[in-house]
Amino acid sequence: MTAEMVKDHPDTYQPGDQAGLSGLQARYDEQLQGTDGAVVNAVDADGKEHELFRVGATRGRPLRITLDERLQTTAERLLVNVGPASALVAIRPSTGDIVAAANGPGTNGYNMATYGQFAPGSTFKSVTSLALLRAGLTPDTVVPCTPTITVDGKTFKNYSDYPSDGIGRIPLRTALANSCNTAFISQAGKLGGRDLVDAAASLGLGVDHDLGFPAYFGNVEPPASDTEAAADMIGQGKVLASPMAMATVIASVQSGSLVVPRLVTSVDVSPPHGVDPVSKAEAASLRSMLRGVVTSGSGSLLADVPGPPVIAKTGTAEFEKDGKVLTHAWMIAAQGDLAVAAFVDEGESGSGTAGPILESFLRAVD
């Protein structure tokens, strides 16, 4: 309770009351608070009291949420020693239930897990791959992976430790497994202005819903230039997402249908109207390609995780801070009925920084 709350809402709060100050507690404070009782008495001439009116107090009603205590605790434990701001979100693809949404201490109380807004980097290539499949490519379509590619005077390159044997004309599935930036950018001309936007929507990214809690589903817009179109292909440009949104993307791939996250059980959620769902054939192709990330690509650290096969995508995204170019580190993965996104605000690489966190989570919850 704050003095401002008492001043602004004197009929609701009194000094000493307990009240939600942020997040779900603030939004559902009225439900959680309940109501006070009241008694009105009359006092006659000889000082005796007679009850005239009574309203009983009502207890607050609990807010039921989908978080799994064991998984939430595991996620928080894995982030507790991560220095930079960090987050981990886990979703059940079968239901959309968010079973973990944890923020590391580096966030300083900011809800980065469901409301952060960051370039998703190469994790977005899972969306780009869907757009390219719809444009007529197949996982085996050969594309050029070159050391660099220049678009309207801007030069793009692959990440610093990109495998040298991955350069050349390679299948699209290999370009995804190795995360070849130049190969994906080379195919930008195959897409129309809204193709990436529509592919993202099919996987739950960039379409807002009111889910009853602070949630950011990301931003994907038609590109304003060829350079922007190139950057969008690899999850930079104007593309933004939260860890929850990227967990939703790989949950949708895993389920073969658009997954809408759910945290508050009393709030009904459903897929948005006007969005073309991912087809079973498209989802199968994406799962096959994202499985290759684990078996022969940048997500190989997950290859021996016990249980069902793991699909995954790593990602890094450059950003400027205080005149320096730094890197967001991402990894998304799905195994069985669990989809996970791990994010570290400042890291070295997706596989090297976010990857071990995600790997530890999957191993711990097996």
Q: Which residues contact 80 (CB under 8 A, 6 or more apart)?
A: 104, 105
pLDDT at 364: 95
Q: What is the pLDDT of residues 199-258, one digit of tens each?
A: 999 999 998 877 888 899 999 999 999 999 999 999 999 999 999 999 999 999 999 999
Please choose, from the candidates 335, 271, 273, 283, the residue with its C-alpha nearest in 3D space to the C-alpha of residue 127. 283
Share of the chain above pLDDT 70, in %: 88
**Mean of the pLDDT values across residues 258-275?**
86
Confidence of residue 38 (pLDDT cuts 50, 70, 90): confident
- Whole-model pTM: value is 0.85
Per-residue pLDDT of 181-200, as tens digits, reads 999 999 999 999 899 999 99
Per-residue pLDDT of 43-70, as tens digits, reads: 877 777 777 777 767 776 677 889 999 9
With CA atoms as reference, report the closest residue to 169 among 186, 144, 149. Answer: 144
**Mean predicted lDDT score pLDDT of the chain:** 89
Q: What is the pLDDT of residues 103-156, one digit of tens each?
A: 999 999 899 999 999 999 999 999 999 999 999 999 999 999 999 999 999 999
Q: What is the mean pLDDT of residues 342-355?
A: 94
- Confidence (pLDDT) at 26: 61
Cβ distance 137 to 336 under 8 Å?
Answer: no
**In this model, does residue 261 exceed pLDDT 50?**
yes
CA distances from 366 to 27, 172, 261, 267 (A): 34, 31, 22, 29
**Predicted local confidence at residue 312, as pLDDT:** 98
Q: What is the pLDDT of residue 34?
A: 61
Of the candidates 109, 108, 91, which has an alpha carbon nearest to the alpha carbon of residue 100? Answer: 91
What's the mean pLDDT in 17-41? 59
Query: 300-345, pLDDT tens digit by residue?
Result: 999 999 999 999 999 999 888 888 888 899 999 999 999 999 999 9
Give 80-114 pLDDT, tens digit per residue: 999 999 999 999 999 999 999 999 999 998 999 99
